[in-house]
Amino acid sequence: MTPQALPLRQDPEFSRLLRPRGVAVVGASADLGRIGGQPVRLLTEYGYAGKVYPVNPKYTALAGLACYPDIAAVPQPCDVAIIAVAAKQVAATLRQCGEAGIAFAIVFTAGFREIGGEGIALEHDLAQAVAASGVRVVGPNCIGIMNVPERIYMGFGPGFHNPNLRCGPVAFVSQSGGFAFSVVGLVDAQGIGFRYIVSGGNEADLTTLDFIEHFLDRDDVEVVVSYMEGIADGARLRAIGRRALDKRKPILIWKAGNSGIGRTAATSHTASMTADYSLYRAAFREGGFIEVRDSDDLADCIRAFTGRKLPRGNRIAVITTSGGSGVLMADHCDQEGLSLPEFQPGTLDQLRAIMPAFSTFANPADFTAQLSGNHELFNQGLRIVLDDPSFDQVIIRYGAVQGGNSHLWAQGIAELCATTDKPLLIAWSRPPELSARSLAILAEHRIPWCLTPVRTAHAAGVLHRFADKLATLRPAKIERPLEPVPLAWPAAAATLSEYRARDYLAAYGIPVAKEILLPPDALSSATALDLRFPVAVKVESPDIPHKTEAGAVRLAVADLAAMRAAAQAVVASARAFKPDARIEGVLVAEMQQGLETIVGALCDPYFGPVVLFGVGGITTELLKEVSYRFAPFDLQTAKEMIEENRLAPLFKGYRGRAPLDVDALAGVLSRLSWLIADHAAHIGEIDLNPVFVRVAGEGACVADALIVTRAA
Amino acid sequence: MTPQALPLRQDPEFSRLLRPRGVAVVGASADLGRIGGQPVRLLTEYGYAGKVYPVNPKYTALAGLACYPDIAAVPQPCDVAIIAVAAKQVAATLRQCGEAGIAFAIVFTAGFREIGGEGIALEHDLAQAVAASGVRVVGPNCIGIMNVPERIYMGFGPGFHNPNLRCGPVAFVSQSGGFAFSVVGLVDAQGIGFRYIVSGGNEADLTTLDFIEHFLDRDDVEVVVSYMEGIADGARLRAIGRRALDKRKPILIWKAGNSGIGRTAATSHTASMTADYSLYRAAFREGGFIEVRDSDDLADCIRAFTGRKLPRGNRIAVITTSGGSGVLMADHCDQEGLSLPEFQPGTLDQLRAIMPAFSTFANPADFTAQLSGNHELFNQGLRIVLDDPSFDQVIIRYGAVQGGNSHLWAQGIAELCATTDKPLLIAWSRPPELSARSLAILAEHRIPWCLTPVRTAHAAGVLHRFADKLATLRPAKIERPLEPVPLAWPAAAATLSEYRARDYLAAYGIPVAKEILLPPDALSSATALDLRFPVAVKVESPDIPHKTEAGAVRLAVADLAAMRAAAQAVVASARAFKPDARIEGVLVAEMQQGLETIVGALCDPYFGPVVLFGVGGITTELLKEVSYRFAPFDLQTAKEMIEENRLAPLFKGYRGRAPLDVDALAGVLSRLSWLIADHAAHIGEIDLNPVFVRVAGEGACVADALIVTRAA
């Protein structure tokens, strides 16, 4: 399925969840420190303007509020029920919510899928209650939801006990509750606030993707953040990535559970299904996602994007008053794919006219420490550089930011920024607590800063990459190179060896080596073949998918006599390797020349059909230099896939060699993507290995193929 | 030269520089905000216990101190002169210092080598004055030196204007002054202090390496930090790296100027000579260096090492009270090369007996948020895990660190740590300003913590890698595989093509393909050769170093007739490629089989002789999958060099193939290292490409070679 074809789920009225008129706390405790007591306290003490309805038959009043014996007794309107009852009572409680007309439930209770066994059955009951009642559920096993500016703290745990959290245009959806709030605390300490924070728990009903999608659509959210361990619907993740680009709104994604170890832990933690990280990365690369690695990185990216300016290209100017930071920023800009062109002559003339004698006006430029006391001059120089059309963005480090006039400097920067559409990022380089006044000015004007030169260069790189995605965004709809071809598939799962696989490939216009299947009884008598020598001679058997390992291949066989001998030999090797193998004959194929590549395709259970590409044989496999794209895709995407491989220079006439037929290779990739997309229900995996790519104009050719089908 | 053979420079009496009895300020200004005034103020107001002697003929008194007309008038003892006079007066001032018996000068003055032209001449004068006077100089173009605990602030600029900087057992030597002090400020804000901070400036006399070496020897320094853009003496860097390991003292190295862009900037900034970053990395990997990437990373590494415990292996336990952070730490431990074994059965039994029902005791373990209020129980569980012999270190995240009993928890941790020799690292995860009391307890007991789970995993990885270097440290002296072989070298620089190069290789026991040189006049008449067919046929010309690019190679030539034809053809191709090439004949060599590798060697102007190794042809070149070692080295180092290549599995019998002759390949590498080490004065570069590695027991063989010699 292509991303645009995905039906987006019917949107629950999330605004009722995020801004409820009333909240029932079912299982409310009179001990306000307990899980059932904390939300009562948070909702009554921190400023929530709606109604709070504790529900517990044991009390008539609680924390100064009337307490209700059951959900039916709760006054309306009540949009959310927080549920903190025993796991076994949760399903029944949800049904009662449905009867009472409460649209949403936030289930704190643990002991469901994450503990296995009995918990799985309980979660199944819960899902049935959701379906029957129509109540939409966050959790179970979640720690709650926070609407920060309106102080609607519907949760528990230390992360919620801060009535002074900063507010900002950022939504955070997390698959780990406790961890998310510790990140919120660290990011808040850096001066950055959130608007909504959601802990999704086991996601028995509403999922991380539901929330991300909703936040993309909300006007009060400019940046969406997600901590993600694993999701079940990769195609929807892709659709959301596309939507983010269409809306020009970044999703900052912190993906964990990527190592073998981490994934095991992730599975046992939220019991999420988790696809291979490489497919997540393919989805992130394709859509409006920016991967973040730690809370500092998250803070920097939020600040960069809430600056609301994007660069038009990758050209950056670096200005400092200390050479060391310039060197560092240049190093890291280079790593980020940014270029540092020279200043234009007019810029140089203007700078030389005003700057100290020992300044250097290379890029990075060093205005020298002599400007320490002279913030007007620094900003005058910065103005000149901002006006230079050679640059798409500018990053600066000014050594004197903690001086007494730091706020005047910041005010000057704010005035400069008001008159440019280029991003300006500041490497602050001083403990923020020593310069609160200037940082407040920057915050007010949304001028991004990062603590260190390294982090600033990274933030500039992030802005560039997102802007580049927007600039190169193509229509979601892609052209088919051919109409869907009906194909007959085995009813049961099977392994189609080379000779049988070739028909499927040929049907989609994928060029295969010219070859002939000699039946077993024709081996010794074979005469003139309509093939060009030398040839490759290989056993054909559905039971030997990897012929080389069985010793059942002979290459560069020079003539007919040698071919006959080779045919006998490969059959003998195959028999020795696997005595009961069904031998359907010997395949004789014209030898192919060109650069050896690997092309593969598979149907991932979470992401669907995907195509992969690599250069060379074992080397590629060991170095994992492989690119992925989701199927289907067109020639241009196929070319990008080839281009992003670090071995791509081999296709362009490397070291005096002739350029290779990239168009033909791209054709193989794109057509394979349509083959697997059109027949995804039948295909498990396809291996085209090797595919030889000849010099430009002479095409590409599959020299061996294997298709693993599955039961429809 | 081997590291141990390096004569270490005669040590100046650095203690006189770092703790002077008196400091003269030459060019002292009555304006205490100016560069010549700032040190007067800093030394008199911040607590320096020695004497301060302003020198300036314009004043008789200054800032309440007697001011001296010239250096000769300064009372003794005076160990340091700070020099802030015009560039042209610096050399003469140094001579006066020498006459007055002042041992050290710190030269703030800029306008030397870093500005080129006239500045280079002035720096030359300065160097002559150093030699003539015996005064040892820091700078010029430096911002000074700081002895933090004794408040001896001999510098200028905003970094020095903090009389409350924290103290710690760390020395920092920087090639960028302003930047270094901004880093000190950021690291100080994280609770970490320094003992000595040195800005080396242009290093006309005393260098970064002089200071690093001195600090390695000082008992009051436990960790040495250096920000480095480039050094001139790579061999000495290596010797210092060895010394750090011998002393079990880490050098945290922040290397900048590594990209093409950054290096240009570095060169123009401190005018340092800069070798290729890959050689720095080889030196760092070999010695006691830990590379750091940013100020947070630096802070974390300092804290980890000042914890004074090292792990015995790579096995780590991860304990949390929130699954998310466990997943993240597991991911990052995996990236750091740490392993997460399971808990021993006895450990599991003990944990299950005391921990909440939904805890998971996989590794990472999640004791669950139910322990939020129960720090005793958390520490009880931690005690059990620390006692498990399956682990070499433990990292933890406890969600409740900011609670009211946080200090009690920290006190409990301190008691636990007192009874274990395993490192324990804490992922603090809360803004430090909210938990100052507990962090003070950790600091007092030197228990390392990092702000985030990601950073904590990294710090654990750093401890492991340093400990592993110590554990695998071998004697610096290595065995020669053969006595030095005298070789005749061309007097002038030359390119030795394959046939001539082979004798040099053979002399050092490096196996070369069996081959014969046919003179030009014998090409058509050549009869029976003492060679096994098939053969390779290649033109032999000193003017065609890259024969393949000239089309002057034919491979797999099957018999004598074909050989004759090929010989004519390669000569014709060579003539067409380069009409004036001197053609010395045609080389006929037995074709080689095996895995294709590349072995090279070069004499780097800064680091000396170095050997490099890669697998395969163009692929390796494009992917830069190359390992480096400094020459000479033994078989074991050669094997490590092979092993660290990501393609190393190819040598071990990958995917059913036969294992390859790693011993023979290691022999080629080690012998080549001795060839270039013994004859470094004559050799520029050696290319052995390809070297074929056969199956185990059958050796390796150089199939093509090129030696570029240089004038002696």
pLDDT digits (tens, 9 = 90+) for A454-472: 999 999 999 999 999 999 9
Q: How many CB atoms lie within 10 A of CB A407?
A: 19
What pLDDT does residue B662 have?
97
CB pairs A-B closer than 8 Å: 247
Name the residue in chain B with its Cα closest to that of A113.
B358
Task: Name every chain A residue with its beta carbon within 8 A of the beta carbon of B160.
Answer: none
Label the pairing between strands B683-693 and A65-66. Answer: unpaired
Is residue A262 less than 8 Å (CB to CB) from chain B?
A: yes
A690: left (phi over 0), alpha (psi -120 to 50) or beta: beta
Residue in B188, B321, B654 nearest the CB of A618: B654
What is the distance between the alpha carbons of residues A373 and B156, in angstroms, rounded to a whole number? Answer: 13
And the tokens for A576? 């020795």
What pLDDT does residue A238 have?
96
For residue A8, pLDDT beyond 90:
no
Task: Name every chain A residue with its beta carbon within 8 A of the beta carbon of B427.
Answer: none
The H-or-E segment that residue B641 falls in is helix B635-643
What pLDDT does residue A264 have?
61
What is the distance between the alpha carbons of residues B412 and B428, in angstroms, rounded to a whole number? Answer: 15
What pLDDT does residue B557 have?
87
* Residues paired with B316 in a beta bridge: B393
**Mean pLDDT confidence for A373-380:** 92
> Please, which residues 198-257 of chain B have a Cβ atom closer than 8 Å to chain A?
227, 229, 256-257
Is residue A331 less than 8 Å (CB to CB) from chain B?
A: yes
Name the residue in chain B with its Cα closest to that of A259.
B331
For residue A2, pLDDT beyond 60:
no
**Mean pLDDT confidence for A190-205:** 96
Name the residue in chain B with its Cα closest to that of A175.
B324
Interface mutation target, options B182, B267, B340, chain A, most CBs of A under 10 Å:
B182
Is residue B186 less than 8 Å (CB to CB) from chain A?
A: yes
Answer yes or no: are the C-beta atoms of B556 and B591 closer than 8 Å: yes
- Cα–Cα nearest to A188, from A154, A152, A213, A163: A163
The H-or-E segment that residue B203 falls in is none
Q: What is the mean pLDDT of chain A?
A: 91
B228-279 pLDDT, tens digit per residue, is 999 989 999 999 999 999 999 999 999 998 887 666 666 555 444 556 899 9
What is the distance between the alpha carbons of residues B536 and B588, in angstroms, rounded to a whole number? Answer: 6
Handedness of CA B42, B44, B49, B52 (dihedral sign): positive
Handedness of CA A525, A529, A535, A540 (dihedral sign): negative
For residue B622, pLDDT beyond 70:
yes
Task: Name every chain B residue with its beta carbon within 8 A of the beta carbon of A650.
Answer: 618, 622
Alpha helix positions (H), A364-508: 375-386, 406-417, 436-444, 453-471, 498-507
Q: Three-state SS for A148?
A: coil
Q: Give the Cα-Cα-Cα angle A567, A570, A571 (nearest 5 degrees).
A: 85
Residue in A177, A293, A330 nearest the CB of B265: A330
Q: Cβ of B327 and A260 within 8 Å?
A: no
Alpha helix positions (H), B30-71: 38-45
| Residue count (chain A) | 712
What pLDDT does residue A4 have?
39
Answer yes or no: are the C-beta atoms of A707 and A685 closer than 8 Å: yes
Q: Cβ of B182 and A158 within 8 Å?
A: no
Is residue B297 less than 8 Å (CB to CB) from chain A?
A: no
Question: Residue A187: exposed, middle, or buried by beta-carbon count in 10 A (0-12, 13-18, 19+)?
Answer: buried
Residue in A333, A334, A403 nearest the CB of B158: A403
What pLDDT does residue A3 have?
38
Is residue B593 less than 8 Å (CB to CB) from chain A?
A: no
Question: Residue B280: exposed, middle, or buried by beta-carbon count in 10 A (0-12, 13-18, 19+)?
Answer: buried
What pLDDT does residue B134 have?
94
Q: Cβ of B177 and A328 within 8 Å?
A: no
Is residue B173 less than 8 Å (CB to CB) from chain A?
A: no
**Mean pLDDT confidence for A654-658:** 81
In this prediction the ipTM stands at: 0.92
What pLDDT does residue A271 have?
47
What pLDDT does residue A100 have?
96
> Please, which residues 612-651 of chain A have a Cβ atom closer than 8 Å to chain B?
615-616, 618-619, 622-623, 625, 646-647, 649-650
Interface mutation target, options A327, A361, A378, A434, chain B, most CBs of B under 10 Å:
A327
Interface mutation target, options B112, B261, B454, B455, chain A, most CBs of A under 10 Å:
B261
The least confident of A36-40, B380-384, B570-574 is B570-574
**DSSP class per residue in A390-420:** T-SEEEEE-TTTTSTTHHHHHHHHHHHHTT-
Alpha helix positions (H), B355-402: 375-386
For residue B4, pLDDT beyond 60:
no
**DSSP class per residue in A3-33:** GGGSPPPPPP-HHHHHS-SEEEEET--SSTT
**DSSP class per residue in B411-436:** HHHHHHHHT--S-EEEE--S-GGG-H
Task: Give the list of residues 6+ apart from residue B484 with CB closer than 8 angstroms, or none.
Answer: B674, B678
- Cα–Cα nearest to A513, from A626, A619, A668, A313: A668
Torsion of CA B472, B473, B474, B476, to 10 degrees: 160
For residue B592, pLDDT beyond 80:
yes
The pTM is what?
Answer: 0.93
Q: How confident is the model at residue A5 (pLDDT cuts 50, 70, 90)?
A: very low
Owner of token pair 């999958």: B625
Q: Give the Cα-Cα-Cα angle A311, A315, A319 (nearest 5 degrees).
A: 100
Q: How many CB atoms lie within 10 A of CB B694?
A: 18
Q: Three-state SS for B95?
A: helix
What is the distance between the alpha carbons of residues A251 and A227, in angstroms, rounded to a whole number? Answer: 11
**Mean pLDDT confidence for A338-349:** 97
For residue A17, pLDDT beyond 90:
yes
Q: How confident is the model at residue A9 (pLDDT cuts 50, 70, 90)?
A: very low
B318-337 pLDDT, tens digit per residue, is 999 888 899 999 999 999 99
For residue A664, pLDDT beyond 60:
yes
> Please, which residues 338-377 of chain A have a Cβ atom closer than 8 Å to chain B?
340, 358, 360, 362, 364, 366, 369, 372
> Please, which residues 649-678 of chain B have a Cβ atom closer than 8 Å to chain A?
649-650, 654-656
Is residue A186 less than 8 Å (CB to CB) from chain B?
A: yes
**Mean pLDDT confidence for A94-121:** 94
Task: Give the list of residues 6+ apart from residue B264 with CB closer than 8 angstroms, or none.
Answer: A330, A362
A130-170 pLDDT, tens digit per residue, is 999 999 999 999 999 999 999 999 999 889 999 999 999 99
For residue B7, pLDDT beyond 50:
no
For residue B402, pLDDT beyond 90:
no
What pLDDT does residue B399 have?
78
And the tokens for B627? 């390992």
Name the residue in chain A with its Cα closest to that of B266.
A327
For residue A274, pLDDT beyond 80:
no
Q: What is the mean pLDDT of chain B?
A: 91
Task: Name every chain A residue with its beta carbon within 8 A of the beta carbon of B426.
Answer: none
For residue B5, pLDDT beyond 80:
no
The least confident of A311-325, B239-253, B615-629, B681-695 is B615-629
Name the residue in chain A with its Cα closest to that of B402.
A158
**Mean pLDDT confidence for A387-416:** 90
Q: Cβ of A325 and B227 within 8 Å?
A: no
Q: What is the side-by-side strand order in the sheet with B51-55?
A: B51-55, B22-26, B80-83, B104-107, B136-138
Is residue B430 less than 8 Å (CB to CB) from chain A?
A: yes
The least confident of B237-251, B549-563, B673-687 is B549-563
Interface mutation target, options B31, B141, B319, B327, chain A, most CBs of A under 10 Å:
B327
And the tokens for B200? 């080396």
**Mean pLDDT confidence for B556-579:** 89
In degrees and rounded to multiples of 5, residue B292 shows phi and psi of: -115, 155
B166-225 pLDDT, tens digit per residue, is 999 999 999 988 889 999 999 999 999 999 999 999 999 999 999 999 999 999 999 999
Q: How confident is the model at residue B454 (pLDDT cuts 50, 70, 90)?
A: very high
And the tokens for B255? 């290397």
For residue B8, pLDDT beyond 50:
no
What is the distance between the alpha carbons of residues A495 and A489, in angstroms, rounded to a whole number? Answer: 11
**Type of residue numbered A565:** A
**Mean pLDDT confidence for B109-137:** 94
Q: CA neighbours within 13 Å on the CB side: how many for B185?
A: 27
For residue A284, pLDDT beyond 90:
yes
For residue A7, pLDDT beyond 50:
no
What is the distance between the alpha carbons of residues A292 and A311, in angstroms, rounded to a whole number? Answer: 20
The least confident of A114-118, A301-305, B99-103, B646-650 is A114-118
For residue B83, pLDDT beyond 50:
yes
What pLDDT does residue A262 have?
64
Is residue B116 less than 8 Å (CB to CB) from chain A?
A: no
Q: Where are the beta strands (DSSP E) in A110-241?
A: 136-138, 144-147, 152-155, 167-174, 194-199, 223-228
In degrees and rounded to multiples of 5, residue B213 shows phi and psi of: -60, -45
What pLDDT does residue A158 have?
86
What pLDDT does residue A402 have?
63
A568-607 pLDDT, tens digit per residue, is 899 999 999 999 999 989 999 998 889 999 999 999 989 9
For residue A198, pLDDT beyond 80:
yes
**Mean pLDDT confidence for A64-73:** 97
Is residue A586 less than 8 Å (CB to CB) from chain B?
A: no
What pLDDT does residue B3 have?
38
What pLDDT does residue B378 have?
95
**Mean pLDDT confidence for A15-36:** 96
What pLDDT does residue A11 have?
59
Task: Name every chain A residue with its beta carbon within 8 A of the beta carbon of B174.
Answer: 324
For residue A544, pLDDT beyond 90:
no
Is residue A593 less than 8 Å (CB to CB) from chain B?
A: no
Question: Residue B56: exposed, middle, or buried by beta-carbon count in 10 A (0-12, 13-18, 19+)?
Answer: buried
Name the residue in chain B with its Cα closest to that of A451.
B186
Task: Name every chain A residue with its beta carbon within 8 A of the beta carbon of B176.
Answer: 322-325, 327
**Mean pLDDT confidence for A18-37:** 96
For residue B367, pLDDT beyond 70:
yes
Share of chain A above pLDDT 90, in %: 73
What is the distance between the alpha carbons of residues B298 and B380, in angstroms, rounded to a whole number? Answer: 32
